[in-house]
């Protein structure tokens, strides 16, 4: 488990003035992304967020300000994807975090050299943070699972295995895009309850899912298991994930093998990856109600019980085409918190590997929709509209049961705690285009 050290000191200030104060990317955060100058044909490379600036790691690496593991990691962070950096593991990444924190602190001897390595974030565009080598989506919110199950099985919303095993399915990495992704409305088979044969055409019940993404760092070989006590060492960091869902296609196709075309047309992630080290102050206890089954031994440890969960505030907004034209700000749909998850990131990683499945740097694990215990904390329209039975009225008078063409969904996340610096994840934005028919 990553320990609190000087890089988390809430009193630490940076010589980058915009990094001091209540904002998303203070010196205590230092997340990674892949970027280039907006509208340019310059090379993609790694960068670190500091205040409203990006520290260009390609330029930093050439300065050779660091040594040992920190310099090795700096060179990896300069590449066009973060896969190499992710694969270096906890020791090298911790060394780079410490070196960057010290170099960006007020009074650093490296200030003059690093000032020439900064680019304003509003002058950059972002690429995928890494090549997503594989993608698995889980179902780790019991509140979401119960709410959705109640729509279809009111008397038995949770299937018998839910409280025993982390449920997941293998997704499609080729359709994952970074924030700003715009995609056509999916097309597929659907079947109305009273119809004798299915229809083919554009999805009519398009939805979002408010999730967190977990990026695998150090990988494993075929047959190797990850013990839960070491699972955190294999997590590089986390991002915000919108796992778009075609609910009408899903209802017809999901039995008996689960999601397919309803899930593989688009998933959108935030560009900034918040490292495991940055999240250390915001760890939260993992507990289960006494009446629920306790996790099996391979999914349980004292460390996971004491600090396996994470206190991450989540929020979801909508901006319709009409709202954009009228220059209206996005309207919030719901708020939730990742600490309500029924399974921790360490448990997801451990279970994924328990049968010897190899894990690779850049693998992405989706948490599943993160809904809270209250109805207004739902992480999808399926829940907020009770399966489309209850229409939502927006502030401008528009109504929604499911998403329409031109709608943009914006998701944000941040960590706040007394005695720690607030850190943010940025945001993830995705927009729906008309179907290609």
| Known binding positions | 137, 139, 153, 209, 211, 243, 250, 254, 263, 267, 369
Residue 324's alpha-carbon distances to 3, 49, 394, 437, in angstroms, are 44, 28, 14, 26
Known catalytic membership, residue 234: no
The CB-side HSE value for 328 (13 A sphere, CA atoms) comes to: 19
135 — phi, psi (to 5°)? -140, 125
Give every CB contact of residue 377 below 8 A, 6+ residues apart in sequence: 143, 334, 335, 336, 337, 340, 371
* 3-state class (DSSP) for residue 321: helix
Give every CB contact of residue 347 below 8 A, 6+ residues apart in sequence: 166, 228, 231, 295, 299, 304, 308
| Annotated catalytic residue, options 110, 143, 144, 284 | 144
- Would you tell me how many other CB atoms lie within 10 Å of the CB of residue 11? 6
d(CA 236, CA 89): 8
Query: Which residues does the annotation place in the binding site for Ca(2+)?
Result: 137, 209, 211, 243
Give every CB contact of residue 135 below 8 A, 6+ residues apart in sequence: 170, 171, 172, 173, 176, 267, 363, 364, 365, 366
Distance of CA 159 to the CA centre of its chain: 26
Q: What does the block give as tokens for 236?
A: 């590089």
Q: Write down the H helix ranges in 110-257.
A: 111-115, 142-152, 247-253
Q: Write down the H helix ranges in 270-337.
A: 302-307, 321-325
Query: Which residues does the annotation place in the binding site for Mg(2+)?
Result: 243, 263, 267
Contact 169, 195 (CB under 8 A): no
Query: Which residues does the annotation place in the binding site for substrate?
Result: 139, 153, 250, 254, 369
3-state helix, strand, coil in the chain (%, to 5): 25, 25, 45
Buried b (16+ CB within 10 A) or exposed e, 204-242: ebbbbbbbbbbbbbbbbeeeeebebebbbbbbbbbbbbb
Rg, Å, the chain Cα set: 22
Q: Which helix (H) or strand (E) holds 427?
A: strand 423-433
Q: What does the block give as tokens for 295?
A: 């996790």
What positions carry a catalytic annotation?
144
């Amino acid at each position: 488990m990553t320990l609190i050290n000087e890089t988390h000191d809430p009193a630490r200030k940076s010589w980058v003035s915009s990094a001091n104060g209540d904002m998303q990317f203070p010196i205590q955060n230092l997340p990674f992304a892949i970027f280039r100058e907006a509208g340019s044909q310059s090379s993609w490379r790694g960068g670190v967020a500091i205040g409203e600036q990006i520290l260009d790691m390609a330029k930093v690496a050439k300065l050779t300000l660091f040594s040992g593991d920190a310099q090795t990691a700096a060179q990896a962070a300069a590449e066009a994807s973060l896969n190499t950096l992710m694969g270096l593991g906890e020791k090298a990444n911790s060394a780079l975090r410490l070196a960057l924190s010290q170099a960006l602190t007020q009074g650093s001897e490296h200030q003059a050299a690093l000032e020439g390595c900064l680019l304003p974030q509003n002058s950059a565009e972002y690429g995928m943070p890494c090549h997503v080598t594989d993608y698995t989506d889980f179902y780790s919110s019991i509140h979401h699972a119960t709410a959705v199950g109640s729509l279809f099985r009111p008397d038995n919303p949770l299937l018998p295995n839910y409280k025993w095993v982390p449920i997941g399915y293998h997704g499609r990495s080729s359709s994952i895009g970074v924030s700003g992704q715009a995609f056509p409305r999916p097309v597929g088979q659907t079947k109305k309850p009273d119809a004798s044969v299915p229809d083919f055409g554009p999805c009519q019940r398009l939805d979002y899912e408010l999730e967190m993404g977990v990026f695998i760092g150090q990988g494993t070989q075929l047959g190797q298991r990850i013990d839960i006590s070491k699972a955190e060492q294999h997590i590089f960091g986390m991002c915000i994930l919108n796992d778009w869902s075609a609910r009408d296609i899903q209802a017809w196709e999901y039995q008996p093998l689960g999601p397919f075309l309803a899930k593989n047309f688009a998933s959108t992630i935030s560009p900034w990856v918040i490292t495991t080290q940055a999240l250390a102050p915001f760890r939260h206890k993992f507990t289960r109600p006494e009446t629920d089954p306790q996790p099996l031994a391979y999914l349980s440890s004292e460390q996971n019980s004491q600090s396996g969960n994470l206190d991450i505030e989540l929020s979801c907004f909508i901006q319709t085409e009409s709202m954009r034209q009228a220059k209206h700000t996005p309207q919030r749909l719901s708020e939730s918190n990742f600490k309500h998850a029924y399974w921790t990131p360490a448990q997801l990683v451990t279970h994924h590997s328990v049968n010897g499945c190899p894990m690779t740097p850049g693998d992405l694990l989706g948490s599943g929709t993160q809904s809270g215990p209250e109805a207004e904390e739902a992480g999808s329209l399926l829940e907020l509209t009770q399966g489309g039975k209850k229409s939502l009225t927006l502030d401008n008078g528009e109504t929604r049961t499911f998403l329409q063409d031109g709608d943009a969904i914006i998701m944000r996340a941040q960590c706040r705690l007394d005695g720690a610096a607030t850190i943010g994840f940025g945001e993830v934005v995705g927009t729906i285009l008309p179907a290609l028919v």
